[in-house]
Amino acid sequence: MIKLLLIAALLIIQTVCAATIEVNIKKFKFIPQQITIAVGDTIKWLNIERRQYHNVWFEALGDPEPDYFFPDESYQRTFNQAGQFNYRCGPHPKMTGVVIVK
């Protein structure tokens, strides 16, 4: 019982302390290209291009290619496990990024 209470308390603390970090997309680049976050944090990718659409595709995880998002739109994802997660823009494969979750 005490063990379950401790686990529940840790999950609540982690949720309360979780952050949302923004990655901008401009001039066909993810800015910053590599980011380190904590388990439970969320990344919000914001398209600040003038006319171009993009997406954020974690292809190596087996995710299907997501929908595009356009200028002033965003996409977000929460990372609930540690690891290194490489991603790219589906329509622009030279646009790559890395999320490191500790």
Instruction: Name the residue range of residue 64's domain.
Output: 19-101
Confidence of residue 8 (pLDDT cuts 50, 70, 90): low
Residue 67: which CATH number? 2.60.40.420
* 12, 73, 47, 102 alpha-carbon torsion, rounded to 10°: 10
pTM score: 0.81
Tokens (6 digits) for 9? 């308390």
Please indicate, yes or no, if residue 30 is contained in any of the structural domains. Answer: yes
Please indicate, yes or no, if residue 77 is contained in any of the structural domains. Answer: yes
Q: Is the pLDDT confidence value at 10 over 60?
A: no
Q: Across the strands, what pairs with 99?
A: 35, 85
Please indicate, yes or no, if residue 60 is contained in any of the structural domains. Answer: yes
Please indicate, yes or no, if residue 13 is contained in any of the structural domains. Answer: no
Q: What is the pLDDT of residues 47-72, one digit of tens each?
A: 999 999 999 999 999 999 999 999 99
Number of domains present in the structure of the chain: 1
> What span, in angstroms and rounded, lies between the C-alpha atoms of 79 and 71?
24
Please indicate, yes or no, if residue 8 is contained in any of the structural domains. Answer: no
pLDDT of residue 17: 75
Q: Is the pLDDT confidence value at 42 over 70?
A: yes
